[in-house]
Structure 1
Amino acid sequence: MSRTLDPAPPAPPRPSTPTTAVYRRRRIVAVGALALILGLLIGGGVYTSSALGAPVPAAAPTIDDPTPVVAEAQAVVQPGFGTWAVGAVGFDGLMAAGGEDTPMPMASIAKVITALVVLEEHPIPEGEGGPDIAYTEADIDIYWDMVAQNGSVAPVVAGSTLSLKESLEAMMLPSGNNYSISLANWAFGSVDAYVERATAWLDEHGLGETRVVDTSGLSLDDVSTAADLVRLGQLALENPTLAEIVATQSVAIPELGTLENSNRLLGTHGVDGIKTGTTDDAANLLFSADLAVGATSVTLVGVVLGGDTHPIVREAVAGLIDSIAPGFHEVVALEAGRPLAAYATPWGDTAEAETAEGATVVVWSDTPVDVAVEADAVRLVGDGEEVGTATVTAGSQVIEVPLVLDGTLEDPGAWWRLSNPGALDEGVVADAPVGD
């Protein structure tokens, strides 16, 4: 019997030998992966160092510019005659005027110039009477000469001695023409020498439309404009001695008796000066008046020239003052702590720039009150640091108020820096809304 043998099982496949191309590909992948790892390690370190040390972008402010405040124009009761003007100490220009550039005889208002020029030559320390002046028969002759010319006079006694302040009171209060001449002779040696100095003084103070030919204003050639006289009145109030004298209703001088101020409006409507003036044809008044405005006060300086009589001029001046006074008003331009700019950073910090203090101004009529805000673009800023300025402008008044930060803009930290590489390249970030 024969046997049939089973076929032998197939041999396992023989592993193939890798080709050169396969080895090359594997080497490239391995080297590439290694290079990538090394690049991440090396490059990442450089980026990390750069990101952590780079400045953050500046935050730009969103600015809130307040709307200008403008009141209604104030109506003024005008004299209806002559020329006139009204200004105020500390305010540019004139509140109101009519014919203010027309030269007019100023009469005894010229004595204000005499007083200021003499006081410039011989200033009187505050609280003192100044040098003594001896009066002689020559001064008696001056007195009678003024009487003959129908000029106003004040009594004088030969052999008496008065202080300079007392002599000025005798010139200003009863408008003594004789004392204006005696003072000029004492201070400058002669009336002509005084006129020369007074002319130079007028030029020095920008009173180019004012002319003096004597000490008293008796001549019709002593002329000025209402605009110039407002400035003259302001100069008078700047001199403490003269300001005190023109506000005095009466004074008792032993050698002379009681001298009354010729300004009958003194003490009414806030009037505290300055000088009357009378020609053969007209009455004038250079006046000052203090007005209460809110927590402060305003000093008006004005003049009315060319009235028929002093009562008519006084009525016109009272009307001017009473109608101008309500036109002054106090405006709270900024409150302390008011936010005027806001900041926001990409990493979530917010802060506001607010006023460090308030600002209040007194304005006339429809003078606008404007606030201009300037705030800096900032990066890392602490609470309370100054970041800008708010400038309040009202006519010639300018007040600057610092803006300080309410809040803090801090460094965002490493995680935000590493995860926001693009933001570090920006110069200024977007605006933010201003809070209430």
Structure 2
Amino acid sequence: MTDRSTPDARRRVYQRRRIVVFGALALVLALLVGGGVYTANALGAPIPAAAPEVSAPEPLAAEPQALVLPGFGGYAVGAVGFDGLLAAGEADRPMPSASITKVITALVILDAHAIPPGEAGPEIAYTEADIDIYWDMVAQNGSVAPVAAGSSLTLRESLEAMLLPSGNNYAISLANWAFGSGDEFLAVARAWLDEHGLVNTRIADSSGLSLDNVSTPTDLIALGKLALAEPTLAEIVATQRVVVPELGPLENSNKLLGTHGVDGIKTGTTDDAANLLFSADFAVGSSTVTIVGVLLGGENHAVLRSAIAALLDSVAPGFHEVAPLEAGQQLAEYDTPWGDSARARAADGASVIVWSDTPVEVEVHAEPVALASSGEQVGTAIVRAGTQELTVPLVLDADIDDPGTWWRLTNPGALDAAAPQSVDDR
């Protein structure tokens, strides 16, 4: 064992330390001076990007909703904001639409004579010609609403008389007022049907009295959605009773109105069948879902109403709110070779309303990161449910800093590595 207490021993230890220290300094100087090219390249080289480790949520799906289907006629059920049909039977079979035709009449007239919000539209004078139309409809056993020669009604009041008690006479009088004649109305109405893609719907008159007025359940769902998008029409069909000074009280023929969520739209009756184009609103989580449905070919309106009520009561619970993402939820993680780490989190929460067993999926797109600040967006999370799609930004919860001179000089292999590509979780 060496005795370090003697002067010679201490001198030898001191000399060895000087060799180590100056050797290290010599190495640094060699890198800085003798290896100038390497040093410049190392200090100026791009930082290697850290690839994300993605952790996407698992898809979510409920059990299929059990429905109470009518068991007769042609029917379809859809919902505003949802593509396709929730339920259907004989959905593409043309059937007489009867007074549901008046919804087309109202939309075509309002397309030509829009009523501004809060107003009632132009005044319409009724004459002896309108009295003749009234008695002609009575003779044909058609539904009518009262009219008086010399009276004047607003367009809104006239539409109420056409739609609530299903006044055939007002459908004819309004078509004549708006377009000059029934034939001119039909030309415009047929062009309107083509324009809106209702290719399986045929219109033979403005009232629906003719059995040549036919449509399919699929087309009628689209028609119902158009009706609800027209504010004046949507308000009228949701009204149970209105008093028009010139006419007295007018009652809505839709006896389901106000029950089972129903707030529209139009009855239709032939000698052989009862029909109803209906809408209903249901609260789902923090939102409201509007269902649009139609049932054609009921034995009578009592049977029809019972079937629709049971169908709606089984459809409504099938909608539910799903929250696949919470604000701050971790969806990816970054770890750098020099020891920095950060997580990519959802900037916001996301929730969607889904029907039945529609799956809800989250697709995470996180970009490789070299240098970044906390709060910086580094990708997106895409929530998909059927045709619905929501995009949520991904943000870092910490900084990823430059590793510094020493790490750059001592990790040439890492600097030479190619930067990784974008990482997606599909």
- TM-score, shorter chain, exceeding 0.5: yes
- Counterpart of 2:46, as a letter, is P
- How do residues 4-403 of structure 1 correspond to structure 2 at under 5 angstroms? 42-403=33-394
Structure 1 residues 160-192: Cα deviation after superposition (integer angstroms, max 9, x where no partner): 000000000000000000000000000000011
* Structure 1 residues 326 and 41: alpha-carbon distance in aligned structure 2, compared to 1, 3 A threshold: closer
Give the gaps of 5 or more residues in structure 2: 1-26
Return the alpha-carbon distance in structure 1 between the equivalents of residues 32 and 348 of structure 2. Answer: 54
* Percent identical: 70
Return the alpha-carbon distance in structure 2 between the equivalents of residues 215 and 320 of structure 1. Answer: 30
Return the alpha-carbon distance in structure 1 between the equivalents of residues 298 and 409 of structure 2. Answer: 85
Contact persistence 2:77–2:292 (CA under 8 A): yes
* Structure 1 residues 361 and 326: alpha-carbon distance in aligned structure 2, compared to 1, 3 A threshold: same
* Structure 1 residues 431 and 264: alpha-carbon distance in aligned structure 2, compared to 1, 3 A threshold: closer
* Structure 1 residues 244 and 164: alpha-carbon distance in aligned structure 2, compared to 1, 3 A threshold: same
SS in 2 for 1:340: strand
Return the alpha-carbon distance in structure 2 between the equivalents of residues 41 and 397 of structure 1. Answer: 59
Q: CA deviation at 1:43?
A: 3.7
- Counterpart of 2:214, as a letter, is V
Return the alpha-carbon distance in structure 1 between the equivalents of residues 242 and 401 of structure 2. Answer: 71
Contact persistence 1:59–1:431 (CA under 8 A): no
Structure 1 residues 409-431: Cα deviation after superposition (integer angstroms, max 9, x where no partner): 10000111111111111123699
Contact persistence 2:368–2:422 (CA under 8 A): no
Contact persistence 2:368–2:420 (CA under 8 A): no
Contact persistence 2:328–2:345 (CA under 8 A): yes
Could you say which residue in structure 1 is the equivalent of 2:410?
419
Q: Who wins on radius of gyration, i.e. which is larger? A: 1
Contact persistence 1:62–1:431 (CA under 8 A): no
* Structure 1 residues 425 and 115: alpha-carbon distance in aligned structure 2, compared to 1, 3 A threshold: same
- Counterpart of 1:311, as a letter, is A
Contact persistence 2:130–2:149 (CA under 8 A): yes
Could you say which residue in structure 2 is the equivalent of 1:20?
none
Contact persistence 1:105–1:221 (CA under 8 A): yes
SS in 2 for 1:125: coil
Return the alpha-carbon distance in structure 1 between the equivalents of residues 202 and 106 of structure 2. Answer: 15
SS in 2 for 1:292: strand
Return the alpha-carbon distance in structure 1 between the equivalents of residues 127 and 421 of structure 2. Answer: 85
Contact persistence 2:99–2:266 (CA under 8 A): yes
Return the alpha-carbon distance in structure 2 between the equivalents of residues 205 and 287 of structure 1. Answer: 20
- Counterpart of 1:370, as a letter, is E
Return the alpha-carbon distance in structure 2 between the equivalents of residues 407 and 40 of structure 1. Answer: 33
Contact persistence 2:32–2:39 (CA under 8 A): no
Contact persistence 2:366–2:422 (CA under 8 A): no
Q: CA deviation at 1:50?
A: 1.7
Q: Which moved more, 1:39-48 or 1:113-122?
A: 39-48
Q: CA deviation at 1:326?
A: 0.6
- Counterpart of 1:76, as a letter, is L
Return the alpha-carbon distance in structure 2 between the equivalents of residues 247 and 430 of structure 1. Answer: 56
Q: CA deviation at 1:135?
A: 0.3
- Counterpart of 2:310, as a letter, is G
Give the gaps of 5 or more residues in structure 1: 1-35
SS in 2 for 1:59: coil
* Structure 1 residues 143 and 410: alpha-carbon distance in aligned structure 2, compared to 1, 3 A threshold: same
Q: CA deviation at 1:40?
A: 6.1
Return the alpha-carbon distance in structure 2 between the equivalents of residues 50 and 187 of structure 1. Answer: 81
> How many residues were matched structurally?
397
Structure 1 residues 91-138: Cα deviation after superposition (integer angstroms, max 9, x where no partner): 000110111000000000000000000000000001100011000000
Contact persistence 2:77–2:291 (CA under 8 A): yes
* Structure 1 residues 37 and 321: alpha-carbon distance in aligned structure 2, compared to 1, 3 A threshold: closer
Structure 1 residues 233-272: Cα deviation after superposition (integer angstroms, max 9, x where no partner): 0000000000000000010011000000000000000000
Aligned CA RMSD, in angstroms, stands at 1.7
* Structure 1 residues 363 and 38: alpha-carbon distance in aligned structure 2, compared to 1, 3 A threshold: closer
* Structure 1 residues 40 and 245: alpha-carbon distance in aligned structure 2, compared to 1, 3 A threshold: closer
Return the alpha-carbon distance in structure 2 between the equivalents of residues 425 and 160 of structure 1. Answer: 90
Contact persistence 2:77–2:293 (CA under 8 A): yes
